């Protein structure tokens, strides 16, 4: 064997060991950048979780919000705070409900690319409570003909504080780590408040006006589910979801 032939043979052997495809070596194919690792939820066997969040005890009287002059023209009469909204049967609106623990860590989930809107209308954030997945953009919209200051106060994610002066303008922001909850405020209008739950999966919901919620497509398993409310804290429940069957959970908050 010539010196040149020996060199080629040695090179091919090294390439084969390294898992490369050079010189005819059938090396292992590496995952492509951006490809999802892990397994997907089998929707054919997934179940759903429905439930209610209730409030017991005397319902606090809603406080009037004294709007500043730059907001009155946008909103009309002074609105009432939407921090605590209780239906006639005790259903509690704006509780954030999510799977806190028990989800198989080998699952991966596609990150939604469609932004979730957080609007500023009449100098009030709407919705007051919302949820997003990690990496999903939030579109903060200023519908008012006045200056707002969008100030997020996370404990895990990066804090930001940006002015939004132009009416009908948009501000996109993405959180990079799970965090329940992230408070939003406005330094110009101190009464403005919103809360964002940032989770690593799609299993979350915000209670409707009657206190109900639905979380779909949960794989079978036993989970710790948490309901969070800005005024009354958090409650947890253990929930078992069977294959292709609905499960239920009930939470109850008491007056403080």
Identify the pLDDT of residue 187.
94
DSSP character string of 51-103 = EEEEEESPPPPPPBP---HHHHHHH-S--B--SS-B-TT-BBSS-EEEEEE--
Identify the pLDDT of residue 33.
31
Q: In this predicted structure, which of 53-57, 62-66, 167-171 has the lowest mean pLDDT?
A: 62-66
Residue 16, pLDDT > 50, answer no
- Residues 196 and 130: their CA atoms lie apart, in Å, by 5
Looking at residue 23, the DSSP 8-state letter turns out to be G
Half-sphere exposure for 10 (CA within 13 Å, toward CB): 7
Which residues share a beta bridge with 250?
Answer: 52
Predicted TM-score (pTM) of this structure: 0.83
Average pLDDT over residues 44-62: 94
- Residues 144 and 123: their CA atoms lie apart, in Å, by 7
Percent of the chain with pLDDT over 90: 75
Residue 81, pLDDT > 70, answer yes
With residues binned 3-state (H G I as helix, E B as strand, rest as coil), the percentages for the chain, rounded to 5, are: 10, 45, 45
Q: Residue 256's pLDDT band (boundaries 50, 70, 90)?
A: confident
Identify the pLDDT of residue 38.
76
Per-residue pLDDT tens over the stretch 229-253: 999 999 999 999 999 888 999 999 9
Looking up tokens 């806190």, which residue turns up?
A: 100
């Amino acid at each position: 064997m010539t010196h040149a032939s020996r060199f080629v043979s040695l090179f091919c052997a090294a390439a084969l060991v390294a898992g490369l495809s050079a010189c005819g070596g059938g090396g292992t194919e590496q995952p492509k950048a951006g490809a999802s690792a892990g397994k997907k939820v089998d929707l054919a066997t997934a179940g759903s979780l429905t439930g209610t969040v209730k409030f017991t005890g005397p319902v606090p009287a809603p406080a009037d919000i004294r709007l500043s002059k730059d907001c009155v023209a946008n909103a009309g009469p002074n609105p009432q705070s939407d921090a605590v909204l209780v239906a006639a049967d005790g259903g509690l609106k704006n509780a954030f409900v999510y799977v806190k623990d028990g989800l198989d860590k080998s699952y991966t989930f596609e990150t939604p690319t469609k932004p979730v809107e957080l609007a500023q209308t009449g100098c009030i954030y709407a919705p007051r409570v919302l949820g997003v997945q990690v990496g999903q953009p939030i579109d903060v919209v200023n519908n008012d003909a006045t200056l707002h200051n969008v100030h997020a106060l996370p404990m895990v994610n990066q804090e930001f504080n940006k002015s939004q002066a132009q009416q009908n303008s948009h501000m996109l922001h993405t959180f990079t780590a799970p965090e329940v909850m992230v408070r939003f405020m406005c330094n110009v209008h101190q009464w403005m408040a919103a809360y964002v739950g940032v989770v690593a999966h799609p299993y979350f919901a915000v209670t409707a006006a009657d206190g109900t919620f639905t979380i779909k497509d949960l794989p079978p398993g036993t989970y710790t589910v948490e309901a969070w409310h800005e005024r009354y804290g958090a409650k947890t429940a253990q929930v078992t979801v069977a294959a292709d069957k609905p499960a239920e959970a009930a939470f109850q908050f008491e007056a403080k």
